[in-house]
Every structure is written in C-alpha cells, then in structure tokens.
Amino acid sequence: MDQAGIIRDLLSWLEGHLDQPLSLDNVAAKAGYSKWHLQRMFKEVTGHAIGAYIRARRLSKAAVALRLTSRPILDIALQYRFDSQQTFTRAFKKQFIQTPALYRRSEEWDSSGIRPPIRLEKYEMPTPEFIVLPPMHLVGMTQSYSCTLEQISSFRSELRIHFWRQYLGEAKCIPPILYGLHHSRPSHEKDDEQEVLYTTAIEPQDVPENILSGQPIDLEGGDYAQFIYEGPADGLQSFILALYGTCLPTLRMTRRKGHDIERFYPQERAPDAPRPLSIRCEYLIPVRR
C-alpha cells in the first residue's frame, strides 16, 4: 500500500477513536511504523503535524458536544482526553477565540473554528447559493425524538421516512413540494443527548384529501445558504453532516437561529409508489451574512 493509502486508513481510524488515548506511541503501533517515520509520512501526505491535527479534531468534536448537549464542560473535556477543565479551556479559546461557556451560550453558531477532517479521496465540496427567503405560512405536524451525537445519522434517516408516512399515510396524492423543518436542542432529560424536532409540512393549498392538514406553521424569512443534494435517498444524511462538518467551517459561515429547511419535489405523486432510488433535496441553512 502506498503512503497515501496508509494515511487514509489511519485518518479513518483516528476519526473513530478521538475519545481514546492517542499518544504518538499508540498511533504508531496501530500504523505499524516508528513514531518518527509516521510523523514524517503524515506531514508529507497531509501537510499537517499529526499531534496538532488530533488536538484540533478533538476540540472540534468537543465544540459540537457543547452546542448540542448539556453535558458539563468538565465531562466533555475529559472525554476528549484533556486532563483538566483549565487545560481544555485554554486550548479551546486558542482555536475558537472564546471560552467553552461563551461558545455554548451564543445564539449563533460560528463554525470557523471547527477543523474539518482531512479528506485524501476526491471530494467536491457543495457550493451554496445564498438566497433570501420570504416569510412562509405552512401546515404540518411536529414530532420529536432524542438521540446521542453518535446516533444522529441513523436516527434521522429512519425517522424522516417514518414521520412522512405518518403525516401523508392516507393521502391519495403526494403534494408537489414537501418541507422538512429541522431544529435541535439539548435534551432536558439526558445531558448526553440532543432533542431533535422535525416538522413535516406542506403549503396550505396543497393539503391532500383524506388527511388532517395539521397545525399552522409560520416560517421566518431571512438569509439562507442553499445546498442541492441529488443522489440516493439514504445518502442525504451523510450529505447534511458533511455540510456542517466540512462546508460551513471551510467557508467560515455563521449559522443564525432558525430551522434548517428541506425541500423535496417528489417525482412520483402516488402514495403507494415504490420508494425512489434517487432524490433531489434543497437543503437550506439559516446564516448570517
């Protein structure tokens, strides 16, 4: 295996072990090289020092935990292998230009301090279109669930389909535009989980026969970054995670308060039609420009 392949495998392994001991000796043992050779090879392939990269990724994971859970700061610091809250705070402030407590309390989410994972494979980063969305009046149904940060991908993909089937299960015809409104907040019951509120919504004039229209929903207007996803239905959640983990930090964007918006345009309008192999979704993130 060439050097790029070795480092690619190592990067994948590191990403799944950021909360484990990752001394140079441990990482070198995993890679099967001396730590001196591994450091040199990692720098040649990625352009980054391995120790600094691991710390930046740990702090990035900690930043997400601060925003999406209510776990005590000390617990988060210890999970990502900082020996004290003071050490964690100093490192966090150096990378994010503010303390963990201020980062958690801010209404807006400045993504510029997050260090995206290094990608050695070919990756075409989605390009946003910045749009101004007017206020909208929709009707729909809001449901919620709680999950850990590690469960975000699988839970959201499965429950998105479940919620739409619940809302449109008796419809004779699928509306031309479907809106999924998404909002997360720390769980009030478990400090290591987030509560996810997902609203299935449609425009009032598109309410099909045989279903209850649901509750009125007022969607605030404002600035949004719109990304387009076209591909397998089960790939949408990975796309969304890449937006937050790579695109927004790379573009140094700030997410303002509000809902993420999914807009689907079903090609097949019959409710009993087979699940489509490919979908198109406009994914809008509220941003401050």
Given a cut of 80, whether residue 121 has pLDDT beyond it is: yes
pLDDT at 100: 98
* The CATH number of domain 129-288, selected from 3.90.79.10, 3.20.80.10, 1.10.3720.10, 3.90.1530.10: 3.20.80.10
For the chain, give the mean pLDDT: 91
Given a cut of 80, whether residue 116 has pLDDT beyond it is: yes
148, two tokens: 């850990």
pLDDT at 174: 87
- What residue has token string 């990752």? 22
Q: String of b and e for 189-209 (b: at least 16 CB within 10 Å)?
A: eeebbbbbebbbbbbeeebbe
pLDDT at 131: 97
Given a cut of 80, whether residue 157 has pLDDT beyond it is: no
pTM: 0.91
Domains of the chain: which residue ranges?
Answer: 3-106, 129-288
More confident residue, 253 or 149: 253
Mean pLDDT of 32-53: 94
Mean pLDDT of 206-226: 86
Given a cut of 80, whether residue 275 has pLDDT beyond it is: no
Confidence band (pLDDT; 50, 70, 90) for 274? Answer: low
- What residue has token string 């689907």? 264
pLDDT at 270: 60
Q: What percent of the chain has pLDDT over 70?
A: 94
pLDDT at 34: 92
pLDDT at 85: 97
Q: String of b and e for 117-150 (b: at least 16 CB within 10 Å)?
A: ebeeeeeeeeebeeeebeeeebbbbeeebebeee
pLDDT at 214: 83
pLDDT at 271: 58
Confidence band (pLDDT; 50, 70, 90) for 179? Answer: very high
pLDDT at 162: 84
Return the closest-CA partner of residue 80 out of 17, 30, 35.
17
Mean pLDDT of 195-213: 85
Q: What superfamily does domain 3-106 belong to in CATH?
A: Homeodomain-like (1.10.10.60)
> Bridge-partner residues for 264, per DSSP?
178, 281
pLDDT at 84: 97
pLDDT at 248: 97
pLDDT at 253: 96
pLDDT at 268: 67
- Distance between CA atoms of residues 212 and 139, nearest Å: 10
Note the pLDDT tens digit of each residue in 45-93: 999 999 999 999 999 999 999 999 999 999 999 999 999 999 999 999 9
